Amino acid sequence: MAAGPYNYSYIFKYIIIGDMGVGKSCLLHQFTEKKFMADCPHTIGVEFGTRIIEVASQKIKLQIWDTAGQERFRAVTRSYYRGAAGALMVYDITRRSTYNHLSSWLTDARNLTNPNTVIFLIGNKCDLDAQRDVTYEEAKQFAEENGLMFLECSAKTGENVEDAFLDTAKKIYQNIQDGSLDLNAAESGVQHKPATPRNPINTDQPPNKEGCAC
Amino acid sequence: MGDKTLETEDIPRSVINEDEPINKSLTMLPWDRFSNWIHCACVVTFDLELGQAMELIYPGHIKLTDKEKMNICYLSFPDSNSGCMGDTQFHFRIRQCPGRKPLVRAHSQYNRDCPVTLQLDDAHYYGFVYFRQTKDRSIRRGYFQKSVVLITKLPFIALFNQVISIIAPEYFDNGEPSLEAACHDIDQWPLPVPGDTLNLPIMGSVIQVRLSCRSDKLIGSVPPKYSQTHSIPAHSILPSIHEVDIYSSFLSILPHVQLLWELVLIGEPIVVMASSPTITCNTVQALVNMIAPLKFCSDFRPYFTIHDSEFREYTTKTQAPPPVILGVTNPFFAKTLQHWPHIIRIGEMGPLGSSPKLANKVKKAAALKTLDSNPGVYTRYKSFLTKDKAILKRLMKGSQLKRPVEAQNAILRRHLLELTHSFMIPLERYITSLMPLQRNISPHKGPPKLRPFETEKFIETLEQSGPQLTSGIKGDWEALYRRFFRSPNFEGWYYQRQKEVNQKLQLLHLEALSNANLSEWIADKEEVQIIDLILKIKDKLNFATHNHGLVGKESVSRLQKQLEDIVSTLPDDLQSVIKT
């Protein structure tokens, strides 16, 4: 009960993308609620999830945009990429077609976000190893070739789900620390709290000085 | 039997949320009203092959797990039934198996407005038993042994004892159709709404009760307002829905009543041993009730047997005894629980009004060898407070003057209530001092929280404003508080206060947010922050719908307007999705 809901130093925007039925909403639900949602309805447009995490003793609020995977929403969902600090790109290890579509999702992610956006590849449903259609090695290689972080996860068992979300945040935070992510740029997808009106934020300065809104 | 005016009056008020104008007939299914009061009725019989067996569960669609059924079966029969010829009435409490649905809406609304001591909890059921044993030569064993049991979450001890005493004899005479009729009657009962006086039809008679509510005055109980508008006349009026006669329950151990109050307050393990479950359940219930208005937060079992699924857990010798109160009748427990620190042995109660044989001395626990020991309290515990002899004298005198038991009970209850009050007032006062200031509530910050409870800071306040202000009882109050802080009762009380205060602060924060000039604030903010604000407002609106009735309609519509205004500043492509 100690931490108030607004008690954080940064907000990071994430988007979750990937084909229909790969388990995007389930991953989000597992991450925010620690529960598996068995009968998850199709997402229409976008759903939001939030959770406050801690990276290097900084409280960070993740604002997660869970997008619709259906092809007919593709044009709509393109506008959600704007300003994302992290993109979780999900495929289903038991359905090869969802893996084959990754290059198209990656193109969107690259074109519609900024160069510093951290893209994390997730092979979901690793609990269904018997029905595997995409090997770990193959996907790992794809990730390496494209400079993506990668993990296989299970929204059902929760395996690696935390890591995917947290590793993304750590990478973003690291980018802020080493200066490669410019907080002044509009659409960095990162917001320092409390929001100071567009003053340049000096990232060399330890952020906790101005952290803690309450 | 159904009383139509009652139904239509009561349902729209709380069952149907004004935000969800759903057709009434869709929201109320058959048995919905029944399950607001009772989970199910069971008939447990003694089968020569199987032992206790569940003969019937009514209504038939109700599911109980095997473990629940087993517990109900064993707890529905007296442990040592040699002395239980004829009819025996008692109640028990069992753990609900996990994985059940959360409380129904009527129950969560009830919980919100009732006194905390009468809240129903998600994890337990009560069982109200009416057991009959008669000689019957037509049965192979020569005895008829059967119980009718009501399973419910509501802690309405007095009410359900009354109800089962009406239903069960009818069932023994007329069989299943009478049970069906009784359940149908209960399915007509209005919602259990705290503060309401209800007329409850059951098998041709009507019981009138008033449900206590949280805003009732604690001292000087509220006289029920018997409105004349009820169309069914009441045959019997229950003075209280939950209270047991603590005076009669404690009659043989009256001199120790204050010591027992301390033990219950600080959550010590207590076992009550008696020869019948009727006595143990009354005594355990009286113990639990004696610290009202404070809620007893540990487990308690008015009647506990060696077959109970928690038997091992509660009788383990590898750990300290758990902070629970158990009522037992099986002599086996005299040995199994002889390491327990506090043992109450109650003898059979004499005829009412006769001067009780008082067990005046506290006995060393080691003196208890068998269940045949004399009535008394067996403990090494040294009271923190000095014994208030005045109340004992008053009760003794009352007993000599043949003062009615009801009056004696009222005197004792009031005394205990005042004692608990004297103990709690300093704590309540200290909590008030931990409230954040109104001016610390800002729409752009999180709602402030109750400051943490600091034991030493509290103890410092005792000298100025301790229990001595309201109680003449001397003793080491400070040490009593320190013990209390380690008990589940303190934890439960503090959690409840925290919840109430933080809810209040949420409300004030919602107010502040609804009144803030947010359009100005967002003017220079990034999209990610504006979305964050939108999500916060949506959260607040969610809180408002979940705490229906707590939040003013105007604040909600102001906040809704704020949300719309903010959304309208977003790019078009975003607006359409945010609205969903």
3-state secondary structure of B106: helix
What's the complex ipTM? 0.73
User: For residues B145 and B142, what is the distance between their CA atoms, to the nearest angstrom?
Assistant: 10
User: For residues A17 and B150, what is the distance between their CA atoms, to the nearest angstrom?
Assistant: 53
pLDDT at B547: 77
Cα–Cα distance list, B184 to A87, B158, B177 (Å): 58, 21, 10
Per DSSP, which regions of B36-123 are E strands?
A: 40-47, 51-58, 86-95
Report strand pairing: B124-135 vs A190-192.
Answer: unpaired
Element (DSSP H or E) covering residue B152: strand B143-152
- Spatial contact of B303 and B327, defined as CB atoms under 8 Å apart: yes
**Chain A interface, best mutation among B526, B529, B533, B540, by max A CB count within 10 A:** B526
Q: Which residue of B has its CA nearest to A186?
A: B526
pLDDT at B143: 83
Q: Do A4 and B449 touch (CB under 8 A)?
A: yes
Residues in CB range of A25: below 8 A, 6 or more apart: A37, A40, A43, A47, A66
Of the candidates A6, A48, A197, which has its C-beta nearest B524's C-beta? A197
Q: Which residue of B has its CA nearest to A48?
A: B535
Of the candidates B525, B528, B532, which has its C-beta nearest A83's C-beta? B528
pLDDT at B28: 63
pLDDT at B437: 83
CA dihedral A96, A102, A103, A106 (to 10 degrees): -170
- Indicate whether B9 pLDDT > 80: no
Q: Is residue A198 part of a domain?
A: no
Of the candidates A1, A79, A194, which has its C-beta nearest B574's C-beta? A79
- Indicate whether A9 pLDDT > 90: no
pLDDT at A198: 34
- Spatial contact of A34 and A42, defined as CB atoms under 8 Å apart: no
The residues pairing with A149 across neighbouring beta strands, listed in sequence order, are A120
The residues pairing with B44 across neighbouring beta strands, listed in sequence order, are B54, B147
Give me the mean pLDDT over the B500-517 stretch: 88
* More confident position, A195 or B320: B320
Residues of A in contact with B527 (CB under 8 A): 82-83, 187
Q: Tokens 């205060």 sit at which residue?
A: B501
Of the candidates A6, A13, A82, which has its C-beta nearest B445's C-beta? A6
Q: Do B526 and A6 touch (CB under 8 A)?
A: no
CA B530 to chain centre: 45
* More confident position, B103 or B147: B147
- Spatial contact of B406 and B371, defined as CB atoms under 8 Å apart: no
pLDDT at A45: 72
pLDDT at B258: 95
pLDDT at A5: 45
Write out pLDDT tens, residues A129-183: 999 999 999 999 999 999 999 999 999 999 999 999 999 999 999 998 888 777 6
Write out pLDDT tens, residues B342-361: 999 986 533 333 344 445 55
pTM of the model: 0.74
* More confident position, A184 or B347: B347
Residues of A in contact with B531 (CB under 8 A): 13, 48, 63
Q: Do B576 and A79 touch (CB under 8 A)?
A: no
pLDDT at B37: 95
Of the candidates B446, B498, B577, which has its C-beta nearest A46's C-beta? B577
* Residue B451 forms contact with A (CB below 8 Å): no
- Indicate whether B147 pLDDT > 60: yes
Q: Is residue A51 part of a domain?
A: yes
Write out pLDDT tens, residues A73-105: 777 777 788 889 999 999 999 999 999 999 999
- Spatial contact of B97 and B120, defined as CB atoms under 8 Å apart: no
Residues of B in contact with A82 (CB under 8 A): 527
Q: Do B577 and A61 touch (CB under 8 A)?
A: no
Residue A195 token pair: 């929001």
User: For residues B103 and B105, what is the distance between their CA atoms, to the nearest angstrom?
Assistant: 6
Q: Do B525 and A195 touch (CB under 8 A)?
A: yes
Of the candidates B447, B535, B573, which has its C-beta nearest A4's C-beta? B447
Q: In CATH, what number is assigned to the domain containing residue A99?
A: 3.40.50.300
Q: Do B446 and A4 touch (CB under 8 A)?
A: yes
Q: Do B446 and A48 touch (CB under 8 A)?
A: no
- Spatial contact of B425 and B372, defined as CB atoms under 8 Å apart: no
Structural domain for A151, as ranges: 10-192
* Count of the separate structural domains present in chain A: 1
CA B108 to chain centre: 13
**Chain B interface, best mutation among A28, A70, A82, by max B CB count within 10 A:** A82
Q: Tokens 């959260």 sit at which residue?
A: B539
Q: Which residue of A has its CA nearest to B534?
A: A48
Q: Do A191 and B498 touch (CB under 8 A)?
A: no
User: For residues B142 and B126, what is the distance between their CA atoms, to the nearest angstrom?
Assistant: 31
CA dihedral B485, B490, B491, B492 (to 10 degrees): 170
A194 cis-preceded (ω within 30 degrees of 0): yes
* Residue B571 forms contact with A (CB below 8 Å): yes
* More confident position, B207 or B237: B207
Q: What is the mean pLDDT of chain B?
A: 84
User: For residues B360 and B253, what is the distance between their CA atoms, to the nearest angstrom?
Assistant: 7
**Chain A interface, best mutation among B440, B575, B577, B580, by max A CB count within 10 A:** B577
Write out pLDDT tens, residues B375-401: 889 999 999 999 999 999 999 999 999
User: For residues B183 and B58, what is the distance between their CA atoms, to the nearest angstrom?
Assistant: 8
Instruction: Compute and round to an integer the Cα radius of gyration of chain B.
Output: 27
- Indicate whether A185 pLDDT > 50: yes
B15-24, B249-258, B323-332: least confidently modelled range: B15-24
pLDDT at B136: 86
- Indicate whether B406 pLDDT > 50: yes
* More confident position, A126 or B438: A126
Cα–Cα distance list, A137 to A133, A140, B451 (Å): 12, 5, 53
Closest CA to A152 of A163, A144, A160, A143: A160
Residues of B in contact with A4 (CB under 8 A): 445-449
Q: Is residue A210 part of a domain?
A: no
3-state secondary structure of B52: strand
- Spatial contact of B194 and B212, defined as CB atoms under 8 Å apart: yes
* More confident position, B441 or B411: B411
Q: How confident is the model at residue B101 (pLDDT cuts 50, 70, 90)?
A: confident
Of the candidates B527, B535, B573, which has its C-beta nearest A48's C-beta? B535
Q: Do B526 and A186 touch (CB under 8 A)?
A: yes
pLDDT at A46: 80
| φ, ψ dihedrals at B265, nearest 5° | -60, -45
Percentage of the residues of chain A whose pLDDT score is greater than 70: 82
A124-128, B142-146, B331-335, B440-444: least confidently modelled range: B440-444
Q: Do B446 and A50 touch (CB under 8 A)?
A: no
* Residue B20 forms contact with A (CB below 8 Å): no
The residues pairing with A17 across neighbouring beta strands, listed in sequence order, are A89
Evaluate the CA torsion angle B543, B545, B546, B548 in order and state its sign: positive
Evaluate the CA torsion angle B362, B365, B366, B367 in order and state its sign: positive
- Indicate whether B199 pLDDT > 60: yes
Report strand pairing: B325-328 vs B300-301.
Answer: parallel
Of the candidates B444, B447, B577, which has its C-beta nearest A45's C-beta? B577
User: For residues B415 and B387, what is the distance between their CA atoms, to the nearest angstrom?
Assistant: 13
Nearest-CA distance A137 → chain B (Å): 36
Of the candidates A11, A13, A45, which has its C-beta nearest B580's C-beta? A45
Closest CA to B462 of B449, B443, B475, B444: B475
Q: Is residue A214 part of a domain?
A: no
Q: What is the mean pLDDT of chain A?
A: 83
Nearest-CA distance B491 → chain A (Å): 14
Give me the mean pLDDT over the B535-552 stretch: 83
Percentage of the residues of chain B whose pLDDT score is greater than 70: 86
- Spatial contact of A171 and A118, defined as CB atoms under 8 Å apart: yes
Q: Helix H segments across B124-256?
A: 157-174, 176-186, 246-250
Q: How confident is the model at residue A188 (pLDDT cuts 50, 70, 90)?
A: low
Which own/partner contact pairs does A171-177 have at CB distance under 8 Å and 24+ positions apart? A171/A86, A171/A118, A172/A12, A172/A85, A172/A86, A172/A118, A173/A10, A173/A55, A173/A56, A173/A58, A173/A60, A175/A116, A175/A118, A176/A10, A176/A203, A177/A203
- Indicate whether B190 pLDDT > 60: yes
Chains A–B, number of C-beta pairs less than 8 Å apart: 67
3-state secondary structure of B58: strand
- Indicate whether B171 pLDDT > 60: yes
Nearest-CA distance A82 → chain B (Å): 9
pLDDT at A194: 45
Residues in CB range of B63: below 8 A, 6 or more apart: none
- Spatial contact of B341 and B355, defined as CB atoms under 8 Å apart: no
Nearest-CA distance A152 → chain B (Å): 28
Residue B229 DSSP code: T
Q: Is residue A127 part of a domain?
A: yes
Give me the mean pLDDT over the B548-571 stretch: 86
Residue B524 token pair: 């220079």
Q: Tokens 């598996």 sit at which residue?
A: A36
Q: Do A7 and B446 touch (CB under 8 A)?
A: yes
* More confident position, A45 or B17: A45
Q: Is residue A197 part of a domain?
A: no
Report which listed range, A202-211, B138-147, B235-244, B468-477, is most confident. B468-477
Write out pLDDT tens, residues B26-82: 456 778 889 999 999 999 998 878 888 999 999 988 889 999 999 999 999 988 655
Q: Is residue A212 part of a domain?
A: no
Residues of B in contact with A187 (CB under 8 A): 527
Closest CA to B277 of B239, B235, B327: B327
- Spatial contact of B70 and B193, defined as CB atoms under 8 Å apart: no
Q: Do A45 and B498 touch (CB under 8 A)?
A: no
Residues of B in contact with A73 (CB under 8 A): none
pLDDT at B331: 84
| Type of residue found at B466 | G
Residues in CB range of B542: below 8 A, 6 or more apart: none
* More confident position, B535 or A198: B535
Q: Do A13 and B528 touch (CB under 8 A)?
A: yes
Q: Do A76 and B449 touch (CB under 8 A)?
A: no
* More confident position, B349 or B476: B476
B255 cis-preceded (ω within 30 degrees of 0): no
